[in-house]
Structure 1
Amino acid sequence: MSDFAQLPQKPVPRFPGWWAALGPGVVWMALAQGSGELIWWPYMIAKYGLTFLWLLMPACLLQYPLNLEIGRYTLLTGESIFHGFIRLHRGFGIFLWILMSVSFLWFGAFASAGGTAMAELTHWPNGWSQREQSLFWGYASIAVFIGAILASGVVYTLIERFMKLVALVTVIGLISACMQEDVVATLPEFVRGLLGPTAAMPRPWQASDASKLLTAITFAGLGGFWILFYSYWLRDKGAGMAGLIGRITGLGGAEEAVSSDGILPKDNEDSRGQWKLWRRFLSLDIMIGIIGNLLTTLMTCLLAYALLFPKGLLPQEYELAVVQSQFFAVSWGEIGRLLFLVVAAAFLTDTWLATADAVSRIQADIVQTLFPRTRNWPARRWYYLFLALLTVITSFTMQLDAPGPLILTSALIGFGGTILFPPALYLLNYRLLPAHLPEWAKPRGTPWLLGLSFVVYLALAAAYLYASFRL
């Protein structure tokens, strides 16, 4: 284990105000919308009705303790949570690094999933198959996003503004669609479904859907290695002690010195007061992500139950974002259908943007943490190197299969990491770090919520294996 005693101590940076500080939770909410909300929950509702709806609220709330501990570590040290895992045990950190790297080989599928919406919207290039059109638009969106990152001043600022815009437009559209008469008529039965199954399963269970259900539950917020992104967004937002670390800038901005090692809070009265504000910010920012994600997921489920379930329409293959266009068509007709396809394209391709950015940050951070000599290169150079590699790799893996199976592959690998996070966070935040913190900065309450998350995720893994491989 690494010793935190070697880290310098400085006063906690001043809290900038709520409007300036909030943001990572919205980015988390918008990124989570890319798979759980738009694809797998509507799929499960459209196919099995309200059978599994009661799992949605617990699934969203289950991620709160994980995000709280991930955020707490970054706010108190300025370090990424991955750096913390490496401090906990170098071998454990390397294992997670390898597992994470494998899980993100296929996230280009989100760009091709967004391409399914653009292909349906334009039917262009002419004469190409649906698959070829979807891939074309997927590659085009990647090119646009890479250009935007390169031209940006601070990369995180670009990510946050774009994700806020996508989330706002989508929420407004979903609320409008849910207010239509045909949808409102199903609301009482839908609400009862939140309390538990209200009727027998409308069709026989298919074992092949076990991975889809597991993905829907785990990624009701951000599951797998995606949940670790929150640490990096807080870091570049400059939350807590991370305000002293530095940020990744685009080629359009001046290069900043970004430290791999953290800084601990100094024990004085001013730091104590500032930490109280940062601690409140953390809880509120996380709840914005969780509640916002829960509400939008509930709306897509309601629309799927009212509009897709009666017709047996399922989002899959190269139509992942096509059948849901009826969500907006119910209120705005053909114009609404076309608008939904545009929103869905942004909805899904922004997942590629945020994931490419976050994974590049993680890779650069891990390399500079594990191999100190690599710090001869600035963090920004490593970031762009990994961004280029990820772009090439995911552009290739997009060709291997339809978006759905690729997204599931990435999710299932990442779920293995999710099971390991609760005990690691407990050891890090409740055993290793507190000895080096002022009394007012030590974790409050009990870590039983982390234990609950661990037990539930372990049970989900067992249920998945049973449902998938039982004779």
Structure 2
Amino acid sequence: MNESALATSSESTPRLQIGSKEMPPWKLGELPEAPPMSLRTWTQLIGPGLVMGGAAIGAGEWMAGPLTTAKYGGAILWLSTLSILGQVVYNLEISRYTLYSGESIFTGKFRLLPGPFFWLALYLLLDFGSVFPYIASAAATPLAAVMVGEIAQPDRTYELFSQSITGDALLRTLRYVLFIGMMTPLLFGGKVYNSLKALISVKILLVLGFLILVAALYSTMETWIEILSGFVKFGSVPVIGGGDADQPMTKNIFVSLWNGEGFPHIDSQMLAILGALAAISGSGGLTNTAISSYTRDQGWGMGANVGVIPSMIGGENMQLSHTGMVFRITAESLRRFKGWYRYVLRDQLAVWMPACFVGIALPCMLSIQFLPRNTQAKDWEAAALTANGLRDAAGPVWGQFMWFAVLFCGFLVLAPNITTTAENALRRWVEVSWTALPPLRRWDPHRIRTLFFGTLCAYAAFGLVSLTLWDSVRLLKWAAALYNAAMGFSCWHVLAVNLILLPRELRPNWFLRIGLFLGGVFFMGLSVISGYSIWNEVVK
């Protein structure tokens, strides 16, 4: 540690100033001992990976996944593999920073030069995709279907509760009700993090339980071979022509070039959806940054010394420090740090990563198993066709129940993600403002919940406007393009943070450094591809 960077303070606690002087210096403290890993301490594993793993089963998995596999089968799932692996490396590295400082990685980014106001302007642009309420827009469709017995058609009139309502009015009403209603868990529970853990645990139990039951009863070995092999068919892309109703229209870029056939003619109309699948496989965009603050709220590493974000109701006695706290590098502190890092490693590899692959595989299993290959579908048409296929497979006794269950499952997948997406976006901006903006640094640490509530109200207002103006698929494509750009740049930025702000003994090894760099290249490439596809749609 650079002792010359120690700053004097009116407080008795010594401080450390590294990076931009517009950010407050870290406090210096002691790293607590990590609990020993054993079967008796298995509950320590139920942490950030559970919350983010459950949240990872969302719009990308339930909408973009079936939209692509319904037409092309499992061959394009390798994009999800690269996306998830890249995010694992990213998650490990942002948690590394939090274990050392107790701060979220977003705050760490603002500590680098040229200073917080430069990064504020840049990340407001990159993070704009997270404020689009495409999940609320999408979640209204399966709920409406359960209510009226079919995918609601905008121009049809339905009888509900002895009242007549058009499909369009029903969908709009449900979008507004769901969007506002799913914000309420963020107001209760003491620690906002605890509310999320409870909500996501229920979601995982119900959704994965149902999908595993369907897979066990109705799927075939051929379906699972196609899905599992699709995760490793690197280079397979959708092409124009070369297929029929029974064969997926895909070619492998590497095989095509090796055979002298040239570069395949890629179906550009599917590029935006493919980009969305990769972007939202796992978490996507800047939503991954929440892993680092959840690591803090779990009390891992120096997070135990910093505090948590409290809810508006029930969090009166909780607070969050305006700045992080780091520890001196000694043989003992390095030993303790490695102990905490093992928890992060296990959390990512044993909980988050498997949850992401399962969250992709099970919804795609439905479309591959129950839809003819090369099925053309838009938005929730794929989900409706899948539900019809499962109804036919289940027979006259259980068929209608399975139809309702598939669509209600889609609702359960998406509705909790309205909460997690909102909390995620609010968390990173509230935390960085709490540290970076001098006026807020003068607030009492208990008033963090007031700032969180005010920002939540502003987020809700923008969301209601967005739901009025734009449809869910358009919002999904726009968000995906921005998500990929944000994730790509963030990979490179995190690499810079950990190489500049962390002591030499705690910096990532070369394998992780290369992984972060390549992850940035991958996501930036997807962003360019998605942006090109969206631009073509606008021009046409």
Matched, 1:293 2:356: yes
Deviation at 1:366, TM superposition (A): 2.4
Aligned to 1:114: 139
Give the whole-Å Cα distance in 2 for the aligned partners of 1:5 and 1:442.
22
| Contact 2:136-2:178 within 8 A present in 1 as well | yes
Shift of 1:60: 1.7
Q: Of 471, 481, 503, which residue of structure 2 is paired with 1:434?
A: 503
Question: Is 1:178–1:184's contact at 8 Å kept on the other side of the alignment?
Answer: no
Which amino acid is 1:325 matched to?
Answer: A
Question: Which 5+ residue runs of structure 2 have no aligned equivalent?
Answer: 1-18, 36-40, 149-159, 250-264
Question: Which of residues 59, 62, 69 in structure 2 aligns to 1:35?
Answer: 59
Give per-residue Cα distances to partners, 1:17-39, cap 9 Å, x unaligned: 44135321121122221122111
Matches of 2:127 and 2:25, distance apart in 1: 30
Work out which of the two has the higher radius of gyration on C-alpha atoms and give 1 or 2: 2
Paired position in structure 2 for 1:104: 130
Q: Which has the higher helix share?
A: 1
- Residue among 67, 82, 105 paired with 1:81: 105
Q: Which stretch of structure 1 is more off in the superposition, 17-26 or 186-195?
A: 186-195
Match of 2:254 in 1: none
**What is the CA distance between 1:79 and its match in structure 2?**
0.7
Distance 1:458 1:328, change over 3 A: same
Which stretch of structure 1 is more off in the superposition, 145-154 or 351-360? 145-154
Q: Which amino acid aligns with 1:219?
A: I
1:186 aligned partner, one-letter code: T
Residues in 2 aligned to 1:102 and 1:57: alpha-carbon distance in whole angstroms: 25
Tell me the amino acid that sits aligned with residue 282 of structure 2. G
1:429–1:443 contact (8 Å) kept in structure 2: yes
Q: Distance in 1 between matches of 2:507 and 2:128?
A: 35
Over residues 232-274 of structure 1, what are the superposed CA-to-partner deviations in whole Å (9 max), with x where a residue is unaligned? 2222222211111111222123232211311112445554443
**CA offsets 1:343-364 (integer angstroms, 9 cap, x no match):** 3212111111011112222222
Structure 1: segments with no counterpart, 5+ residues: none
Give the Å deviation of 1:407.
1.9
Deviation digits for residues 98-146 of structure 1, max 9, x if unmatched?
124522331x221121111110011246532333222322332334333
One-letter amino acid of the structure 2 residue matched with residue 75 of structure 1 = L
Deviations 1:252-297 (A, max 9, x none): 2323221131111244555444322210111111221112111231
Following the alignment from structure 2 to structure 1, what is the Cα–Cα distance between the partners of residues 142 and 354? 27
Q: Which residue is 1:211 aligned to?
A: 272
Structure 2 counterpart of 1:363, from 426, 429, 445: 429
The answer for the alignment partner of 1:163 in structure 2 is: 200
Residues 367 and 386 in structure 2, CA contact (< 8 A), matched pair in contact too: yes
Tell me the residue number matched to 1:253. 315
1:352 lines up with 2:424 in the alignment: no
Could you tell which deviates more after superposition, 163-172 or 48-57? 48-57
- 2:20 matched residue in structure 1: 2
Q: Percent identity?
A: 24
Q: Which of residues 437, 457, 461 in structure 1 aligns to 2:523?
A: 457
Equivalent pairs, count = 465
Question: Is the aligned partner of 1:67 residue 2:133?
Answer: no
Q: Distance in 1 between matches of 2:289 and 2:73?
A: 32
Quickly say closer, same or farther: Cα 1:428–1:45, change in 2 above 3 A.
Answer: same
| Contact 1:112/1:403 (<8 A) preserved | yes
Deviation at 1:157, TM superposition (A): 0.3
Contact 1:15 / 1:21 at 8 angstroms: preserved in 2?
no
What residue in structure 2 maps to residue 132 of structure 1?
Answer: 169
Partner residue of 1:11 out of 30, 53, 60: 30
Structure 1 match to 2:508? 443
Which residue does the alignment assign to 2:345?
283
Whole-Å separation in 2 of the counterparts to 1:401 and 1:62:
31
8 Å Cα contact 2:75-2:231 kept in structure 1: no
Bigger mean CA offset, 292-301 vs 456-465: 456-465
SS at match of 1:121: helix
**TM-score normalised to structure 2 length:** 0.79
**Equivalent in the alignment of 2:285:** 224
Report the CA distance between 1:386 and its aligned residue. Answer: 0.4
Q: Aligned in 2, Cα 1:461/1:342: closer, same or farther, shift over 3 Å? A: closer
Change (3 A) 1:323 1:34: farther
